[in-house]
Amino acid sequence: MLLLIAFALLIVGFAVKLTGRGGSPATGGPVLFTLAPGAKIVSSQLGDNRLVLHVRSAAGDEIDIIDTQNGRLVGQIKPQDAGKAK
């Protein structure tokens, strides 16, 4: 009985993956990002399905890495708060 349930779940998972209803964001619409007040994009680079933005703000410089296929922020490098550093 457990084998039948596991097989059924496998088929359902495969069907969901094929139809694209697995909870991924809707495609086709624009993805909007906002910068902090006073922040500016210093430079940008595009490569390997990634957009790398160098952003300068009052808090310091940061690097934002965005997946160009789904618009998701995949990585961020930013300064550590001075109060938290030890």
* Size of the chain, expressed as the number of residues it contains: 86
| Alpha carbons 40 and 53: distance in angstroms, whole number | 10
Nearest alpha-carbon partner for 49 in 71, 28, 34: 71
State which residues form the domain around 45.
Answer: 37-80
Is 53's pLDDT higher than 90?
yes
Residue 14 maps to a domain = no
Residue 16 maps to a domain = no
- Domain tally for the chain? 1
pTM: 0.59
Give the model confidence (pLDDT) of 8-43 as tens digits: 677 777 666 666 555 555 556 677 788 888 999 999
Residue 48 maps to a domain = yes
Residue 20 maps to a domain = no
